[in-house]
Structure 1
Amino acid sequence: MANVSVDELGFSPKQGVNWSNYLACRPVYQASFFGRIFDYHAQKPEATWSVGHDVGAGCGIVSSTLAARFNSVIVSDPNDGYVTLAKKLLVEEASLPESKFTFLQEPAEESSVETGTVDLIAACECMQWTNPSAAISEFSRQLKAGGTLAITYYVRPLIDGSERAQDAWKGVWATHSNRARGEVYDRAFRTVNTALENLEFPEDKWQAVKRVYINSRGDVNAFVMNDLIAERKVKEGEEKIWVEDDKEWIDAKDIEWFKAYLATWVPSIPETEMQEVWDELELALDGKKVEIRTPVVMIFATKKAQFI
């Protein structure tokens, strides 16, 4: 969706996310990101490319790339207005054929998608908002035997090369996370703080589970935002891969970008209510750009064939 205008996206407070800012400031899913997903799926002898499902699709960022590989794509999200916006961007702005998509406003935990009909499910940057065990069970129901589940999450970036700037940036997020309290936010933190290691894949339904950690310096603590930690449920036999210095998740940014980036996260906190921590970061940056490195986790799993 790189060519889609982000100036007028029909945002309203009811939607909860300002997608103009989101698309302008959040990391772009680059070729290696989708390459890892498609390579995992393609390695299976039984792999087919009929139906892809973008769960928690938001404005359809992932859907547009799935559409280049799959005959049809399901675009689902539980939030008011999101799939309507996704349809506008994918069909009206990007000129993709409407017949290629099915748009559904519904949650990850309970879908109207028919059982055993989906080849690949992508759940990107959304599992923290779900009941993970219920969602993963629902994904198993939808997938064909041998189908692929790809779950991904990137956390806030880390600053390299300046300990003072990183400490100040950490202070910004500490202030933000202290304001983001309540059942929904606490559940989300418990998931992301484990680098999604609280997600469990029952062995009677899933196989070939692979967890890929990118730019985390070999440490899942790179994902920790505060002190809320869920139980880790990584099983013996699950493959772990560590990828460092992935340049597609490395950039250089200035103070204005840091402020705009934080504004894409919920809850939105006015700059004036965090002035002290922003002032410290601005002093640490001293008018310069600094290198940022975004930690990413990607989880892949294959739906087991059910034998009677």
Structure 2
Amino acid sequence: MRSTTYRHLIAPLQRGSRSSLRQHHGLAISGRGSTGFQRCAIRSQVPGTMHTRARCFSSTATLREEAEDSENFWRVSADDSQFWHDYVSTRPSYNAAFYNEIYNHHNAHSSKWEVAHDVGCGAGQVCEELATRFAHVVASDINDTHLAVAKRRLIPSLGAKRISFTHSMGEDLIKHHAPGSADLIAAAEAMVLMDEHVALENFHRLLRPGGTLAFWFYGRPTFSDLKLRAKAQPLIDGIMVRNWSKVIRGSERRIAGFKRAAEGMASWLDYVPLDPESWSNVRRIKWNTSATLPFFGEEACGFPIHPTSNVKPGEYTEEREDPNWWKNEWDIAELRRYFRVLFPGFKEALGEGDQEINRMFQELESHFGGEGKTQQFTWPAVLVTATRK
């Protein structure tokens, strides 16, 4: 699903037509700091085939291409300051240890720290961090609302010379930037929204030899305490399922798009193939695999989900359990706020229009220990880094 969101994730995920979608830095399906998927139009032509593939999955943009998409649940104005404040504040806070996984990889294989790209930038949380290490940051997104928010948030602190903005989907970045012009490309929450083959080809062309590709995904907020997780996490999962199941419906093409995204999440990004002819030093690190990474699975989709793996021999893989990973201390009101920006058009997400969701929030409040009482949450996450040959 970087603000990003957990966004986050959604617009219909369609196959066979041009669709609009963003990365949810957070799915929301969140950049970075994103829950939510953003608007990411995706087109692809796979060698040896004649069909196109499109994914459209966004918390802030919805297509109007078919009657089934007539109600726009996710449109949010760039001027809605309360929404964007809540959107950023309910994303996981990427810690120094996480970014050091990326920086250490880059430092081991490159001496250049000139240009970094944040693909599917959302509100710009990752851009802020990259600007502490790279001379210039390119923020790109297909969603013009996200770019407007990122500009408003970042230009006052970074200045117009330190950051630039590109209105483009990830697969088209090579049309806007010269080959070999980037030292690092970061994509938070975005890969499951893109055609991975076209995106990887683009990223390989954009990077200098020795440059770093880093893409990652995080899933549902998860109680850190294992006893509380056993009792209360099914309620959070139930709210997820009840909301996503309202969205994953419609035409066969749309459902096929959701299936691709769901299977990508269920694969913990292992489905992304990094050809040894093009990429070296591949590292795949997963945190908290005992938790649920996908924002939606078979229960919400209503059709089978089949994870796949394209992990190659020689790639480094590691799993880490860490209940303090990207920890958030939330009370029940903050958990409601998370769902409100994950599903900004659904009153059900606040427990206002769906009796069953309202009941689940009330039960969750009792597990919290009452109004105002906080509990610690962690996040399942996966990071993939690779060096461009």
**SS where residue 75 of structure 1 aligns?**
strand
**Shift in CA distance, 190/16, structure 1 to aligned 2, threshold 3 Å:** farther
Query: Number of matched residues?
Result: 288
Whether 1:126 aligns to 2:211 is: no
In the aligned structure 1, how far is the partner of 2:188 from the partner of 2:206? 17
Look up the match of 1:3. Answer: none
Distance 1:125 1:116 in 2: 24
What's the counterpart of residue 176 of structure 1? 243
The residue type equivalent to 1:104 in the other structure is T
Give the one of 291, 294, 297 matched to 1:226. 297
Aligned counterpart in structure 2 of residue 275 of structure 1, from 348, 351, 355 = 355
Partner residue, 2:262: 189
Other structure's SS at 1:298 match? strand
Q: Distance in 2 between matches of 1:268 and 1:216?
A: 30
Q: 1:114 matched to which residue of 2?
A: 178
Q: Deviations over 1:216-247 (max 9, x none)?
A: 24xxx732431234432222221111222152
2:276 paired with 1:203: yes
* SS across alignment from 1:110: helix
Distance 1:145 1:54 in 2: 18
- Aligned counterpart, 2:137: 73
Residues 16-27 of structure 1 correspond to what in structure 2 (within 5 A)? 18-27=83-92
Counterpart of 1:300, as a letter, is: T
Cα deviation for residue 42 of structure 1 reads 0.8
Cα distance in 1, alignment partners of residues 130 and 316 from structure 2 = 25
Aligned residue runs from structure 1 range 55-66, under 5 A:
55-66=119-130
Match of 1:290 among 357, 375, 378: 375
Cα distance in 1 for partners of 2:264, 2:289 equals 16
Q: Which residue of 2 aligns with 1:31?
A: 96
In the TM superposition, residue 274 of structure 1 has moved relative to its aligned partner by 3.6
Specify every segment of 5 or more residues in structure 2 that has no aligned partner in the other structure, as ranges: 1-73, 249-253, 299-304
Once the 2 structures are TM-superposed, how far is the Cα of residue 99 of structure 1 from its aligned partner?
A: 0.8
Describe the SS at the equivalent of 1:85: helix
Q: Which residue of 2 aligns with 1:247?
A: 324
State whether residues 55 and 124 of structure 1, in contact with CA within 8 Å, keep that contact through their aligned partners in structure 2: yes
Correspondence for 2:211 among 144, 147, 153: 147
Contact 1:165 1:285 in 2 (8 A): no
SS of the aligned residue for 1:264 comes to: helix
1:236 and 2:306 correspond: no
Distance across 2 between alignment mates of 1:175 and 1:206? 40
Query: Partner letter of residue 360 of structure 2?
Result: E
Task: Quote the offset at 1:15 in angstroms.
Answer: 6.2
Question: 1:295 & 1:83 partners in 2: Cα distance?
Answer: 27
Query: In the alignment, is residue 13 of structure 1 matched against residue 76 of structure 2?
Result: yes
CA contact (8 A) 2:138 2:163 kept: yes
Per the alignment, do residues 232 and 150 of structure 1 end up closer, same or farther by CA in structure 2, a change over 3 Å counting? same
Whether 1:97 aligns to 2:159 is yes
Q: Over aligned residues, Cα RMSD in angstroms?
A: 2.3
Structure 2 residue matching 1:43: 3-state secondary structure: helix
- Tell me what 1:5 maps to: none
Distance in 2 between residues matched to 1:14 and 1:233, nearest whole Å: 39
CA shift, 1:16, in A, is 12
**Partner amino acid, structure 1, of 2:94:** Y
Question: Partner of 1:109: helix, strand, or coil?
Answer: helix
CA distance in 1, matches of 2:76, 2:87: 14
Decide whether aligned partners of structure 1 residues 176 and 213 sit closer, same or farther in structure 2, where only a CA change above 3 A counts: same
TM-score scaled to structure 1, two decimals?
0.86
Task: Find the counterpart in structure 2 of residue 7 from structure 1.
Answer: none
Residues 45-56 of structure 1 mapped to structure 2, 5 A cutoff: 46-56=110-120
What TM-score comes out, normalization by structure 2 length? 0.69
Segment drifting more, 95-104 vs 269-278: 269-278
How far does residue 174 in structure 1 lie from its aligned partner after superposition? 1.4
Q: Does 1:42 align with 2:107?
A: yes
* Matches of 2:104 and 2:380, distance apart in 1: 21
Amino acid at match of 2:235: A
1:256 aligns with 2:333: yes
Partners of 1:80 and 1:303 lie apart in 2 by 30
Once the two structures are TM-superposed, the CA of residue 69 in structure 1 deviates from its matched residue by 0.8
What amino acid is aligned across from residue 242 of structure 2 in structure 1? T
